[in-house]
């Protein structure tokens, strides 16, 4: 049972106690200007910057317990041991332990309120929540940029889930990755867009983002052009967000999503994340927009479609997508807050 003290409390608000247990929540994010490709797979250093939004409705809640009796870190995800994520979590915790001067191993209990690894960015919220809870449990007060850097080592997109609203991940130039971190661009309340997620399949995806990015960088003849072009899209999106220009953001976000998928399709063997229902949703969003509804789409490394719209049109978009054959569920969300501590004992 998680006791929520204050959903608005930041890690910096926590009172200095002899905390050995801390619980944090972080929200999923997805990029409007896409992250696809790495310059260093070990540290998850991206080959391109990215710009994302954080979702209120999709989150991971993680409790970290320092336990001197444990021989190694244990990760329990939705009540089950998760060996693949545990390995990455251990590497991230090693960095935090080193910085904090702590030797204890950790038990990590993590719960997602949405399907894991189906293109809804569970690793993003997962590692952002882990780093936020672990630093609090170790009573190690760190700036958000440092938490973003550690979260990135778990999963590239997790660096962005440290922040709420709109955020930008820097590609960075340094080999140690200290400048490959995210930063906030705009608060959720400043431009309250809404998101409708159309679930077209609940099973886990076939090729992970990590594997897909590697294959694409190694085999696509278009990879260099993708990397070279990215800064232009980042500039357009940054300007659109600063000006709250919906149409400009719609244009660049759809172009970035389709470019990323076109790039992924050009890998050998090609990566095909869309299913027929995904495509039907994309066409429906385009129709709605042609009819004057302020809505645009993006799709990540899975078959789910995210439709971003102005708040007054959320109901219309949600109804339109739920009527498409093959859409099994529709989740609506406002933009979400930064990763935050919800309990420290
Ligand atoms: C994004 N994705 O920018 C892109 C678009 C997926 C498609 O961020 O290997 O799961 O752990 O760094 O963080 C997913 O990337 O990949 C992602 P890793 P991650 O939203």
Instruction: Read off the pLDDT of residues 186-214 as tens digits, 9 standing for 90 and up.
Output: 999 999 999 999 999 766 657 889 999 99
**The pTM is what?**
0.92
Q: Distance from the CA of 310 to the center of ligand 1, in angstroms? A: 25
* Residues with a CB atom less than 6 Å from ligand 1: 30-31, 34-36, 44, 50, 123-124, 155-157, 209-210, 213, 260, 300-301
DSSP string, 4-21: -S-TT--GGGS-----SE
Nearest Cα residue to atom 11 of ligand 1: 155
171-181 residue pLDDT tens: 999 999 999 99
Q: Using CA of residue 207, residue 166, residue 135, residue 41, what is the dihedral sign?
A: positive
Average pLDDT over residues 21-37: 97
Q: Domains in the chain, please, with CATH?
A: 21-187+337-344 (3.30.230.10), 194-334 (3.30.70.890)
Q: Separation of 84 CA from ligand 1 center, angstroms?
A: 16
Residue 344 has a pLDDT of 77
Output the CA 144–ligand 1 centroid distance in Å: 20
Pocket test for ligand 1, best of 124, 301, 308 (most atoms within 8 A of CB): 301
Choosing from 27, 209, 230, 298 the residue with most ligand 1 atoms within 8 A of its CB, the one to mutate for a pocket test is 209
What is the signed CA dihedral for 232, 234, 239, 241, rounded to 10 degrees?
150
**What is the distance in A from the centroid of ligand 1 to the CA of 262?**
16
Q: How far is the CA of 157 from the centre of ligand 1 (A)?
A: 5
- Please report, to the nearest 10 degrees, the dihedral formed by the alpha carbons of residues 235, 239, 241, 246 taken in order: -100
* C-beta separation of 254 from 305 below 8 A: no
- Stretch 47-54: mean pLDDT: 98
Site of tokens 């999709």: 58
What does the pLDDT look like over 230-245, one tens digit per residue? Answer: 999 999 999 999 999 9
């Amino acid at each position: 049972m998680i006791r929520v003290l204050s959903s608005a409390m930041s890690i910096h608000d926590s009172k200095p106690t002899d905390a050995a247990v801390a619980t944090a929540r972080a929200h999923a994010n997805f990029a409007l200007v896409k992250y696809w490709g790495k310059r260093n797979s070990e540290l998850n250093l991206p080959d391109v910057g990215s710009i994302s939004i954080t979702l209120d409705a999709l989150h991971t809640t993680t409790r970290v317990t320092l336990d001197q009796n444990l021989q190694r870190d244990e990760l329990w995800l939705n009540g089950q041991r998760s060996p693949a994520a545990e390995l990455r979590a251990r590497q991230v915790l090693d960095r935090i332990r080193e910085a904090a001067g702590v030797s204890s191993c950790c038990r990590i209990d993590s719960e997602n309120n949405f399907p894991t690894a189906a293109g809804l960015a569970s690793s993003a919220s997962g590692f952002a929540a882990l780093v936020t809870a672990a630093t609090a449990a170790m009573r190690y007060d760190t700036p958000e940029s440092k938490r973003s850097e550690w979260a990135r080592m778990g999963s590239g997109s997790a660096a962005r889930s440290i922040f709420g609203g709109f955020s930008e991940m820097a590609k960075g130039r340094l080999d140690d990755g200290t400048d490959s971190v995210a930063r906030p661009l705009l608060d959720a309340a400043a431009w309250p867009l809404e998101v409708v997620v159309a679930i077209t399949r609940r099973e886990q995806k076939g090729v992970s983002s990590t594997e897909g990015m590697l294959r694409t960088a190694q085999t696509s003849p278009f990879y260099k052009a993708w990397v070279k072009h990215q800064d232009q899209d980042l500039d357009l999106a940054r300007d659109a967000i600063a000006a709250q220009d919906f149409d400009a953001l719609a244009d660049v976000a759809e172009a970035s999503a389709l470019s990323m998928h076109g790039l992924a399709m050009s890998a050998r063997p090609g990566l095909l994340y869309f299913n027929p229902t995904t495509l039907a949703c994309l066409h429906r969003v385009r129709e709605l927009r042609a009819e004057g509804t302020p809505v645009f789409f993006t799709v990540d490394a899975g078959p789910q479609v995210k439709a971003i719209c102005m708040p007054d049109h959320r109901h219309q978009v949600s109804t339109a997508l739920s009527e498409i054959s093959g859409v099994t569920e529709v989740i609506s969300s406002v933009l979400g807050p930064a990763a935050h501590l919800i309990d420290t004992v």
